[in-house]
Copies of this chain bind each other. A is one copy, B any other.
């Protein structure tokens, strides 16, 4: 089955907000085995809305329409559908009841929201209990799903109601059997990864994609089998080959993050970590504490921008600072040992560098970063030269520091 996605809203065609719902829908549908012929984005113009829906019905097997279902005057999807598909607005008492129940009879907003209870004739409500119900309209045997434009509402209705309904529509027979995995890679350039995997790209019924995301590359493997068995066999074979070809630059899969992987390793080893940051300014700690449950393995950290704080909070000897400067290997080592000592953790990681745009010199240009690592009494340091703007250098530094911790916990050395 082939589908089409139509997003409606002036805020989209004027570029004021980015359309994220269409990509989300496309991805969910693709993984479930459907193809998307086209995604359209149009403004709140009833004539065009009607025309575009009619065109889609004429060329695909199902249509998803998002946006324009709200209660304000610029929400015109139902009006367009009523006119273009000849489905006059009809009052749905069960929706009205729910609105009144939520709002209370005396509330002014209840009458304002009554507009939500008028749907095109023949509409089947997807989830009457949801704040924005969404509905299915069958037109010339083609199912058209109308969903709210608010991403969270749309995503819930799509996953919980539209996908099951579509699966029922014709049964599973003509769909692909899809297997998909994302390999999260850090420390190898897109071109180098491509080089290592190129020979696997020749496999028909599979597709390998390369997507640089900040300092990482996400490699996607998609297998479209003609049967469950074919999909499983081919997927297992390619998965094995990709894993072997890339090795430990794959730090995680699917929804892992570098920090969540490091956290899982620390928890598994019963270890704790603390952090001393200069140029990343809290980003490294923030990545760690963004992981739920991080208090089990993260005790805390110091953001020491000034030399005084490096001395006072981390116990860095001011003679080291004077002799080598704050951005130096000895200071990185002292910071890592200092925070581990103060926090009484087995592991301490430190970062000192120049994120720019100012502060660089000929000897230590913007992007110069030292990372120190204290592990059970031993201290090491590594020097890096990162490129990019301030934000990119901070991001690359924080990820590299996490990767050094990961490799240390795995007993692997970064090559």
Contact = CB atoms under 8 A, between A and B. Distances in A.
A38 B42 contact: yes
Given A285-B303, A303-B289, A26 B38 contact: no
Nearest to A18: B23
Nearest to A304: B300
A139 interface: no
Contacts of A390: 290, 292
B305 A300 contact: yes
Given A42-B37, A286-B281, A299-B305, A18 B20 contact: yes
Interface string A182-209: 0000000000000000000000000001
B391 A290 contact: yes
B302 A289 contact: no
A237 to B, nearest CB: 22
Interface in A280-328: 280-290, 292-295, 298-306, 308-309, 312-313
Contacts of A309: 274, 299-300, 342-343
Interface in A1-41: 11-20, 22-30, 35-41
Contact of A13 (B36, B280, B285, B359): B36
A161 to B, nearest CB: 19
Given A282-B286, A299-B305, A15 B28 contact: yes
Dominant SS at the A interface? mixed
Of listed A37, A301, A304, A342, residue having the most chain B CB within 10 A: A301
Contact of A52 (B38, B48, B295): B38
Given A282-B303, A303-B303, A312-B342, A26 B14 contact: yes
A293 B42 CA distance: 42
Contact of A15 (B30, B38, B305, B312): B30
Given A290-B390, A302-B313, A303-B303, A13 B25 contact: no
Contact of A300 (B29, B211, B302): B302
A16 B221 CA distance: 11
A286 B286 contact: yes
A214 interface: no
Determine how many copies of this chain the complex contains: 2
A142 interface: no
26 contacts: A13-B26, A13-B30, A13-B35, A13-B36, A15-B23, A15-B25, A15-B26, A15-B27, A18-B20, A22-B41, A41-B41, A275-B282, A281-B288, A281-B289, A281-B298, A282-B286, A282-B289, A283-B286, A289-B305, A290-B391, A290-B394, A300-B306, A300-B309, A302-B313, A308-B343, A308-B344
Contacts of A36: 13-15, 43
Contacts of A222: 14
A14 B40 contact: no
* Leading 7 A-B pairs by shortest Cβ distance: A281-B289, A15-B27, A282-B285, A15-B26, A282-B286, A282-B282, A39-B41
Given A292-B390, A295-B305, A309-B342, A43 B37 contact: yes
B14 A27 contact: yes
A220 interface: yes
A281 B294 contact: yes
A301 B300 contact: no
